[in-house]
Amino acid sequence: MAAFCTMKKYYLFMILFIISCTQKVNVVELAEQFAELECKAIMLKDKRYVLADRLREIEMDTVTNRKELDSLNKIIILTKQESLSLADSIKTQLDDLFTHHLKDPSDRVAFNNHLRKVIETKGCMLH
């Protein structure tokens, strides 16, 4: 009986060991969670470029309305602040993902590929 129990423990240990070794990182789930933040970052990036284009147009315009320029500059400052704060959050989350979940480079590449798919589905890109 004792020998049977020892054997059972041994098999249980082996099964758990094999499961833990073969358990794949769920890159799909991680990418889907991360996509929320990345989507915001993409939209903010696109917004920054739209604002920069508008700013250039206004700057080159000789009859620029001073008020419009001032209000545009205010929006640009706010957008930059929002972008910087979001960049910090993304960096922190990404470091955490890479340190604890995506340790293997191939998992990171798979994560990145899936992230692209999720974001394309979400439709948060301008082009």
Partner 1 sequence: MISNILKFTYSKNLAASIILSFLALILFDSCTKDSSDQLSKTTEEYSADFILSYYDQICKTVKTTQGFFPPQAARAYGYIGIAQYEAVVNGIENAKSLQNQLNGFASFQLPTPIQGELYNWAIASNAATARMMKYMFDKNLTPANRLKIDSLEIFYHNQLSAGEEVSIVSRSQAYGQNIADVVYNYSKTDGGHESYLDPFQLPYSVPSDPFCWVPTGAITTPLSPRWGNNRPFLTSNIQKVQPPQHMAFSVATNSEFYKEAMIVYNTVTNNTSEQIEIAKYWADDPFATCTPAGHTFNILAQILKEERATLAKSSLAFAKMSLAENDAFISCWKGKYDYILIRPVSYIQKYIDANFKTVIGTPPFPAYTSGHSCEMGAGSRILSSLFTNGSGDYQFTDYSQLQYGFFARSYSNFEEMAQECADSRLYGGIHYPIDNSKGLQVGKAIGDNVNKEIIWPLFVR
Among positions 50, 91, 96, 121, the unique one binding partner 1 when judged by CB under 8 A: 91
According to the binding rule CB under 8 A, does residue 50 interact with partner 1?
no
64: closest CA among 51, 77, 55? 55
CB of 26 to partner 1, least distance (A): 19
The tokens describing 82, both together, are: 């929002």
Cα separation, 11 vs 58, whole angstroms:
74
According to the binding rule CB under 8 A, does residue 28 interact with partner 1?
no
Tell me how far the alpha carbon of residue 79 is from its chain's centroid: 18
According to the binding rule CB under 8 A, does residue 90 interact with partner 1?
yes
First to last CA, the chain: 68
In the complex with partner 1, which residue's Cβ is closer, 14 or 52? 52
Per-residue three-class SS string for 87-119:
HHHHHHHHHHHHHHCCCCHHHHHHHHHHHHHHH
CB of 11 to partner 1, least distance (A): 35
Return residues touching partner 1 (CB under 8 A): 38, 41-46, 48-49, 52-53, 55-56, 59-60, 80, 83-84, 86-88, 90-91, 94, 98, 105, 108-109, 112, 115-116, 119, 127
